[in-house]
Amino acid sequence: MGADPTFTFPTIVRHTLGNGLRVCTIEHRSVPVITFSLQIEGGSGADPAGREGLAAIVADMADEGTGSLTALEVSDALARIGADYDVDVGGDVTDYTLTTLTRFASRGAALLADIVTRPSLLESEFMRVRQMRLDRLRQLKDVASAVAERTFLRLLYGSHPYGHLAIGTDASLRRVTPDDVVSFHAGSLQPSRATLIVCGAMSHEELLHEAEEAFGGWSSVAGDTAGAPPASEVAPGSRAVTTLAVVQRESAAQSELRIGQLATRRVTPDYPALLVMNAVLGGQFVSRVNLKLREEKGYTYGARTNFDWRRGISPFVLQTSVHTASTADAIADSLSEVAAVRGMRPPTDAEMLLAKASLTRGYPRGFETAQQVARSVAVLSMYELPDSYFEEFVPKVNAVTSADVVAAASRHLDPARLTTLIVGDYSAIADSLRSLNLGEPELHAADF
């Protein structure tokens, strides 16, 4: 393999408007397109206890009409400028993004400002949006992977703000009221709690002008809007590790598996080594877990591992779906591979080469469009990473050694703290699970 190509990330110029809104401008002139990405502090981690799913409802209702436009008129206004609008509710932040042609920059910025800062939040729209989410929850209850994701979060985090899906639960959504939506929007969508990223084929001065024109009049709401501390600052309570848990799905032909633990924060100095470790263990097709469970044993069509990064303590997860009869054997092999990467079987030179290549080859292709660049700067903002982060990424990954991988795995993965969850036919696998020596399983309902 040849040397990795050099990569220079575009210059980021930072500003702060008079209302406290932080603005990042980035010139990107390859095509006449502009992206506005507004990042709001909070996300699903800011859901009030008992009102899980509230942040996502507020985000979903943003384009369901503004002070001057109905929901259909908002949709028509987006279509008239060929805009791509999207909203993403994460554990720590909510991102509202709009991309359009540069010649529609002013209209796009003004429309996004209306959508986010001046939504109508009508009761009729609330009832419709909430019902759609309740219907979706009923559907997810029959999807094994969704049941596994929800249950696994609860097992790892308990009552911590990270311990629920953004969509919430049936019970919590039914408790949410239109007044909750209005109050949450007023308290959380403050310019002082937001960062606007503007990236496009204009000068920094022109990009800043568009931001000021659209968002300069956005004012804070008087009163206490601090609310609860950010989810990232809430320590998971000390609780006994659930070694083995099962959600019963009678006559299921397959078992949906999750194996993992709370590991570390995204800003850990071990981040490059953990990325390489994950690539070796389960982050690519030729990783150890996939080769073992799919290629060697034929238990599954695919198995993978990943870190679900947050500002706060983040989980490491191994996930796969295996034939019911292979459940216990697949768990045993998975646990063995996790333990081995901590030192019993360090990554070989060939594994290190492939792992690094999967992370670095083609890396610049992730920054080709204005939308990609804007979202990358949003990552810097969310985790408070230096502007040089993307330029330093490839050299730092290439500097990782096998010993670094073993050391990082030893610090952040502990076989004794792993939780194994099975969503499958417990009656068919109960006897075989005893061979794992993980104790009697906790039985959980698929409660949505």
CA neighbor of 394 nearest in space, from 41, 128, 1, 7: 7
* 228: DSSP letter: S
Q: What is the pLDDT of residue 3?
A: 66
- Summarize the confidence of residues 290-297 as an average pLDDT: 97
Question: Tell me, what's the pLDDT at 17?
Answer: 97
Beta bridge partners of 422: 246, 257
pLDDT recorded at residue 2: 60
The whole-model pTM stands at 0.94
Q: Is the pLDDT of residue 221 over 80?
A: no
Let me know: does 448 contact 140? Beta carbons within 8 Å: yes
Q: What is the DSSP pairing of strand 442-444 with strand 194-200?
A: unpaired
Closest by CA position to 356, among listed 319, 405, 314? 405
DSSP, collapsed to helix, strand or coil, labels residue 319 as strand
Residue pLDDT, tens place only, 57-113: 999 999 999 987 999 999 999 999 999 999 999 999 999 999 999 999 999 999 999
Taking every pair of C-alpha atoms in the chain, what is the biggest distance, in angstroms? 69
Q: For residue 161, give the DSSP letter.
A: T
**From CA 356, how far away is CA 23, in angstroms rounded?**
34
Task: Give the three-class secondary structure for 22.
Answer: strand
Mean pLDDT of 9-27: 97
Q: How far apart are CA 97 and CA 80, in angstroms?
A: 17
pLDDT at residue 93, rounded to an integer:
97
Task: Please say if the pLDDT value at position 222 is more than 70.
Answer: no
pLDDT score recorded for residue 224? 45
Topology of domain 13-220 in CATH is Cytochrome Bc1 Complex; Chain A, domain 1 (3.30.830)
Sheet holding 244-248, edge to edge: 303-307, 314-323, 254-264, 419-424, 244-248, 442-444
pLDDT of residue 446: 86
Taking residues 313-333, what's their average pLDDT?
Answer: 98
Provide the pLDDT confidence category of residue 447 given band limits of 50, 70 and 90.
Answer: confident
Residue 223's pLDDT is 47
In the chain, what are the domain boundaries?
13-220, 244-444
pLDDT of residue 417 exceeding 90? yes
**115 close to 74: Cβ distance less than 8 angstroms:** yes
CB 249 within 8 A of CB 425: yes
pLDDT tens readout for residues 164-197: 999 999 999 999 999 999 999 999 999 999 999 9
For 360, phi and psi rounded to 5 degrees?
A: -110, -30
Mean per-residue pLDDT of the chain = 95
Rounded Cα distance between 305 and 358, Å, is: 14
For domain 244-444, the CATH class is alpha beta
- Number of Cβ within 10 Å of residue 130's Cβ equals 21
Q: Is 396 or 241 the better-scoring residue by pLDDT?
A: 396
Q: Residue 225: what pLDDT?
A: 46
Please check whether residue 236 is in contact with residue 313, taking contact to mean a CB–CB distance below 8 angstroms.
Answer: yes
Closest CA relative to residue 193, chosen from 20, 310, 58: 20
227 pLDDT above the threshold of 70? no
- For residue range 115-141, list pLDDT tens digits in order: 999 999 999 999 999 999 999 999 999
